[in-house]
Amino acid sequence: MRKSIVAGNWKMNMSHVEALNLYKSLSALEESFPSNVEVLVAPPYVYLNELNNIGKGSRVKVIAQNCASNESGAYTGEVSASMLRSIGINSAIVGHSERRHVFGESIREVTEKVLMLLKQNMQVVFCVGEQLSERKGGSHFNVISDQLQSVLSLEPSLFEKIVVAYEPVWAIGTGETASPEQAQEMHSFIRSKLNEVYGKQSNQTRILYGGSVKPNNASEIFGKQDVDGGLVGGASLDASVFAEIIKAAG
Ligand code: PGA
């Protein structure tokens, strides 16, 4: 019913040549991707335009890792949603835990970014996730609930553009994953929160899992009822490894 998404977050990796090669190698494998899976990659800003142009007609869609919380003006180093849109990018990740915790983005700033993207009619891959201390202290559901506020007062027609990614911070880049049961428990909680506001529409929302997804754990996690694919960091930097994860979502 919900079409799965597997998205690769390249983070701050890859030289120009490496990025081109990775994109081309992945596109070359697209015949092997299940037809019921959408494939996205999020390269660094500087490669977006070129890869998006190369990828016209490819099943591997190019998205951004971030965007500015302001519309335009004196914000040195920032890239706005409208700039992304002007080069044909239709989707961006917002609220990734590295943005929240390394760069100190507040819930308010994340909300502003969501609104900037929606104003451009772009899709938002909206990330939430608790830290290890929060899970150990038992506040993980409250933390996720607070983070979800950024997308809980949208018009239903705008909410359609939201894809949620649950990424427990303790599982990102650590080699440790949430168990399939822990993932399902949180995904079902997230869907119930969305349901309180958006009703049946929330059954259409894709909720991705992220945090050390690898070929050997992907199918078990993706097999859970409320898990609609994954947001993949490290394992998306190798085309054949990432392709295995894509196949696991079919
Ligand atoms: P990881 O990263 O797969 O390397 O854990 C996931 C993410 O940060 O999106």
Q: What is the pLDDT of residues 172-221, one digit of tens each?
A: 988 888 999 999 999 999 999 999 999 999 999 999 999 999 999 999 99
| Cα–Cα separations (whole angstroms), residue 198 to 77, 157, 160, 163 | 36, 10, 10, 14
Share of the chain above pLDDT 90, in %: 97
CA distance 69 to 71: 7
Q: From ligand 1's centre to the CA of 192, what distance in Å? A: 25
Nearest to 210, CA basis, from 18, 5, 2: 5
Write phi, then psi, for 12 (nearest 5 degrees). -95, 65
Nearest to 100, CA basis, from 143, 59, 61: 143
> What pLDDT is recorded for position 188?
98
User: Which DSSP symbol is given to 34?
Assistant: -
Ligand 1 cavity residues, CB under 6 Å? 9, 167, 172-173, 210-213, 231-235
Q: For residues 89 and 48, is the Cβ–Cβ distance under 8 A?
A: yes
> What pLDDT is recorded for position 1?
83
> What pLDDT is recorded for position 173?
86
- Residues 4-14: what's their mean pLDDT? 98
Q: Which token pair is 189?
A: 């909680």
Q: pLDDT grade, residue 3 (50/70/90)?
A: very high
> What pLDDT is recorded for position 88?
98
Question: Has 16 been annotated as catalytic?
Answer: no
Q: From ligand 1's centre to the CA of 73, what distance in Å? A: 32
Q: Is the pLDDT of residue 143 over 90?
A: yes
How many residues in total does the chain contain?
250
- Residues 75-80: what's their mean pLDDT? 98
Domains and CATH numbers, the chain: 4-248 (3.20.20.70)
Report the mean per-residue pLDDT for the chain: 97
Residue 174 CA, closest ligand 1 atom number: 5
**Tokens 């409320």 -> residue:** 226
Q: From ligand 1's centre to the CA of 214, what distance in Å? A: 10
Question: Has 96 been annotated as catalytic?
Answer: yes
Write phi, then psi, for 59 (nearest 5 degrees). -80, -10
> What pLDDT is recorded for position 174?
87
Share of the chain above pLDDT 70, in %: 100
Catalytic residue among 109, 134, 167, 244: 167
